[in-house]
């Protein structure tokens, strides 16, 4: 049955896919969505190729992120450029996202699904911020051991002994607590207290239908909600195995509940090479991710690529541009409110 609202086709792609491993090398995950018709998108990708001298080869963000291509990237994503009002990017700091998920599993009374944003629970978010600060006081090897145990606890995989991840988590916490000052040690110990381990056991035995370790799900949910302000959303997304029909249906049901009258009109997965709109989403996601990663690492580039106007206000994002004293993953201050790169909602423009 028609809702009486217009239908808007939105094309999506991501950059920095983590595959459930939230504490790996890449700390920035980006999900871009664009609202263009195929003819306009095709003409725009042809123009990008012309400016890059790329010929007929598939366009990838890695080519736009080369130093000599900076002016082309800046033109493509400029506030007054060809995608003005037609693109938005949701960013996730995967480290903080993972710590917030860990808080939801171990120290929260809620039973989250993977399409929830951890930002929706302020207390959980604050606990994750504090845990991030505590872990930063550990030696690198001890910190990495805790994060690896957290990753394995959150990332439910087959062929693993049921209690193995919980045991490994307790061992990692015990070893870390011994290296921390008393107050920080007590805080971390609480994440392996009997009540926390009971919650962990329940989670491992019966995980949610939508995995907690996939930031793509929360980003897609935000994207659908954002564009549904324009009309009923028909999503065309790059192929991703995590986007199963059941998980997409759960996001659609939540949209209809949270925003009466709005709905997901359709969802299809395509190869990015077959749809110029998805190619553009791939380019935007990759360009924005590179800019953020460069800022975190303190890297300066010859061309300034503007991204503030593209970043979703709900982004779970590292603030500032300081690089970590330990490594280049950017142990900077984390926002518990809107993004420092742009607290704009990137209001969509009708075609």
Q: Given this model, what pLDDT does residue 13 score?
A: 96
For the chain, first and last CA: distance in Å? 24
73 and 107 inside one domain: no
The verdict on pTM exceeding 0.75 is yes
Q: pLDDT, tens digit, for every residue of 281-323?
A: 999 999 999 999 888 888 888 778 889 999 987 786 655 433 2
Tens digits of per-residue pLDDT, 146-188?
999 999 999 887 555 567 899 999 999 999 999 999 999 999 9
Residue 324 lies in a domain: no
Residues in the chain, overall count:
351
- Based on the fold, state whether residues 120 and 61 are members of the same structural domain: no
Among 205, 230, 264, identify where a domain stops: 205
Domain of 284 in residue numbering reads as: 7-94+214-310
Both 23 and 158 in one domain: the answer is no
* Shared domain check, 104 and 87: no
Conformation bin of residue 283: beta by default, left when phi > 0, alpha when psi is -120 to 50:
alpha
- Answer yes or no: are the C-beta atoms of 212 and 105 closer than 8 Å: yes
Query: Same structural domain for residues 107 and 192?
Result: yes
Judge whether 349 lies within some domain. no
181 in any annotated domain:
yes
Dihedral in degrees, nearest 10, Cα atoms 294, 63, 342, 17: -80
- Does 348 have pLDDT greater than 80? no
Read off the tokens for 164: 């193995």
Q: Is there a contact between 219 and 14 (Cβ–Cβ < 8 Å)? A: yes
User: Is there a single domain that holds both residue 199 and residue 99?
Assistant: yes
CATH number of the domain residue 250 falls in: 3.30.420
Closest by CA position to 289, among listed 230, 233, 215: 215
Cβ pair 264, 224 in contact under 8 A: yes
279 occurs within a structural domain: yes
Residue 194 lies in a domain: yes
- Say whether both 51 and 61 belong to one domain: yes
Based on the domain organization, do 51 and 75 belong to the same domain?
A: yes
């Amino acid at each position: 049955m028609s809702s009486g609202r217009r239908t808007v086709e939105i094309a999506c792609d991501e950059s920095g896919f983590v595959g459930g491993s939230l504490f790996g090398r890449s700390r920035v995950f980006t999900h871009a969505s664009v609202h263009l018709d195929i003819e306009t998108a095709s003409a725009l990708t042809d123009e990008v190729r012309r400016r890059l001298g790329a010929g007929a080869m598939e366009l990838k963000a890695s080519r736009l992120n080369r130093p000599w291509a900076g002016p082309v990237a800046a033109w493509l994503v400029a506030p007054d450029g060809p995608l003005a009002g037609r693109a938005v990017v949701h960013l996730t700091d995967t480290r903080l996202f993972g710590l917030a998920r860990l808080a939801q599993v171990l120290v929260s009374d809620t039973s989250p699904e993977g399409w929830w944003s951890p930002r929706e629970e302020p207390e959980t978010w604050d606990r994750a911020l504090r845990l991030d600060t505590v872990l930063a006081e550990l030696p690198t090897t001890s910190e990495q051991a805790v994060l690896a145990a957290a990753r394995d606890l959150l990332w439910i995989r087959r062929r693993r002994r049921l209690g193995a991840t919980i045991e490994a988590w307790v061992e990692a916490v015990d070893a870390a607590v011994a290296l921390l000052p008393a107050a920080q040690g007590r805080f971390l110990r609480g994440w392996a207290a009997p009540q926390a381990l009971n919650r962990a056991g329940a989670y491992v035995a019966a995980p949610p239908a939508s995995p907690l370790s996939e930031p793509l799900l929360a980003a897609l949910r935000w994207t659908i909600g954002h564009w549904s302000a324009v009309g009923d959303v028909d999503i065309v997304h790059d192929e991703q195995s995590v986007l199963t029909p059941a998980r997409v249906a759960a996001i659609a049901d939540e949209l209809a509940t949270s925003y009466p009258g709005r709905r997901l009109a359709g969802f299809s997965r395509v190869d990015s090479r077959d749809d110029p709109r998805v190619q553009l989403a791939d380019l935007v996601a990759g360009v924005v991710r590179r800019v953020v990663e460069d800022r975190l690492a303190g890297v300066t580039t010859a061309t300034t690529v503007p991204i503030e106007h593209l970043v979703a206000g709900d982004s779970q994002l590292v603030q500032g541009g300081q690089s970590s004293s330990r490594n280049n993953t950017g142990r900077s201050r984390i926002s518990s409110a809107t993004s420092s790169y742009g607290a704009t909602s990137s209001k969509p423009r009708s075609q």
